[in-house]
Structure 1
Amino acid sequence: MKNKPAYGIDSVDHALHLATLLLHEGPLRVTDAAARLGVARSTAHRLLAMLVYRDFAEQDEDRRYAAGPVLRGAVAPEPVADLRRLALPHLEALAARTDESVNLVIVVGDQARFVATVESTHVLRVGDREGRVLPARLASGGRAVLAGRPEEEVVDLHSAVDSPVADVPALLRDLRRVRKQGFAVNDQATETGVTAIGQAVPCPAGMVPAAVSIAMPTARYRRDRLPEWTRDLATTVARIERDLADGSVHQNGGAL
């Protein structure tokens, strides 16, 4: 897991974060951008104007800001803004029940991308991971999603000559265990001192695969609490699945 540079430039970070949101989640209004970044509306407007100037963004007919020519040349997953909006109240409830950080993850190919985080209230906690990308085979949510895919698809994803996976049969055995137990545990595989538990969200056909994870400092992880945490995860996933089945994900006109 990458850490933020000690001398990071906030304006650059905000601009890059906005570009990522436009690419992966679709058009945003200025007020939406300001809320996502936690900045003033005027600041969000200036950042978007600079992105437009450099062709990273453009305004559509509704005066929303969308990905511009530079970003449209990139390979992107389907927009997930509506999924994030629908899931966020359930993530907040799960974070309140567990008092640990909670993430919504989508999986595209062999990559898992964090699209929302609700942080724990503990001083020692796992911080905001939104926008981060990890190998799906290592992240708890990513492994939970991969476990639900046909094994031939998993083999195809990880059998390239330059693949970092040296032992595909071992990966398949691990995914079978995940599929049998219904959740995955990432015990410091992506970051020393961080343990996460993930469960896939059963999504409608045609929607980007997603998962929910609980992340905590390894010092607070206890195997005897695993049944409790997985029950809480299962409740959250079931509520998100119910809302997806109700069609709520489309109520703002978005399509996943």
Structure 2
Amino acid sequence: MKNPPAYGVTSVDHALRLAVILQVEGPLTVSEAAERLGVARSTAHRLLSTLVYRDFAVQNADRSYRVGPVLELAAQTRSDVAELRAAALGPMRALVDVLDETANLSVRTGRTVRFIASVECSQALRVGKREGMVFPAHQVTGGLVMLAALGDDELSALYAPAPHGRAEERPDPAKLRAELRAVRRSGVALNLERSERGVVAVGRGVRGPRGDTVAAVAVSMPSVRHSPRRLKEVVAALTTASTAISAALEDGFRYAADEG
């Protein structure tokens, strides 16, 4: 049996316990959290609010709390993310060298995407790194290209109404399907200041060794540098980068198979 550390911080311990409860047992209310921890409701509320702020929890429409994107991402093994980063960083640096714009790599977990790698460009006016950030999948380019890889049934199940879901978490189904059809036709997604004013982003999917879309690579730039001509340059460079990342993943897969 483990003994609690002499230097333990009670608030940290409480927050970690709540995170485990959410992941293992499912949604709970402020009152339930207070009862489980043996603390006041105000303390439980502050702890849950902190978990929400750091994306470890999400508040439902009924005021209860459920597991957030960070803990959902834990379903993806650490080695998977590390492998993706290792395969992508070289091609992403080359992409930034060609375009001198910031590049990001993201993965999808349910309805959200998390940026797992960023390479920032050197221009004075530039888009900053997004590594570690979480966004709704339908609001960012990487999310759109990964959603476009889903079948109709998968997409319907993903965005099916849920008792604990918030209305703002679900995009308009008809509008989303139309947008995803356009992404499938072109192979890229374009974000014209949708998720951030003054920022334009272009994304393309990254295929894994089995042919499925496992990630997305995107380029973000200030809207003042966006133009039809620039878009063609970005798409060409993105295609080269995504192909290189996929090839690196394939090489790693073959090496692992040979070693096994």
Fold similarity call, TM over 0.5? yes
- Structure 1 residue matching 2:161: 3-state secondary structure: coil
What does 1:243-254 correspond to in 2, within 5 Å? 243-247=248-252
* 1:188 pairs with one of 167, 170, 193: 193
What is the identity percentage for the equivalent residue pairs of Structure 1 and Structure 2? 37
The answer for the alignment partner of 1:228 in structure 2 is: 233
* Higher-Rg member (1/2): 2
User: Where do 4+ consecutive residues of structure 1 move more than 6 Å?
Assistant: none
Give the Å deviation of 1:101. 0.1
What does 1:89-100 correspond to in 2, within 5 Å? 89-100=90-101
The reply to whether residue 167 of structure 1 matches residue 172 of structure 2 is yes
- Structure 2 residue matching 1:83: 3-state secondary structure: helix
What does 1:105-184 correspond to in 2, within 5 Å? 105-161=106-162, 162=165, 163-164=167-168, 165-184=170-189
How many Å separate the matches in 2 of 1:208 and 1:77? 17
How many Å separate the matches in 2 of 1:206 and 1:77? 20
- Structure 2 residue matching 1:106: 3-state secondary structure: strand
Give the Å deviation of 1:151. 1.6
- Structure 2 residue matching 1:121: 3-state secondary structure: coil
Which amino acid letter does the alignment assign opposite residue 87 of structure 1?
A
Give the Å deviation of 1:93. 0.4
Cα pair distance change 1:211/1:249, threshold 3 Å:
farther
How many Å separate the matches in 1 of 2:171 and 2:231? 30
How many Å separate the matches in 2 of 1:153 and 1:98? 35
* TM, length-normalised to structure 2: 0.65
How many Å separate the matches in 1 of 2:171 and 2:220? 27
Aligned 8 A contact 1:77 1:208 in 2 = no
Give the Å deviation of 1:250. 6.8
Give the Å deviation of 1:77. 3.6
CA deviations on 1:161-209 (whole Å, 9 max, x unpaired) are 4342352011011100000000001111111111100000011349882
- Structure 1 residue matching 2:245: 3-state secondary structure: helix
How many Å separate the matches in 2 of 1:171 and 1:250? 39
Unaligned runs of 5+ residues in structure 2 are: 1-15, 17-69
Query: How many residues matched?
Result: 181
Cα pair distance change 1:249/1:170, threshold 3 Å:
farther
RMSD: 2.4
- Structure (1 or 2) with the greater helix fraction: 2
The reply to whether residue 210 of structure 1 matches residue 215 of structure 2 is yes
- Structure 2 residue matching 1:212: 3-state secondary structure: strand
Unaligned runs of 5+ residues in structure 1 are: 1-18, 20-72, 252-256
Cα pair distance change 1:240/1:249, threshold 3 Å:
farther
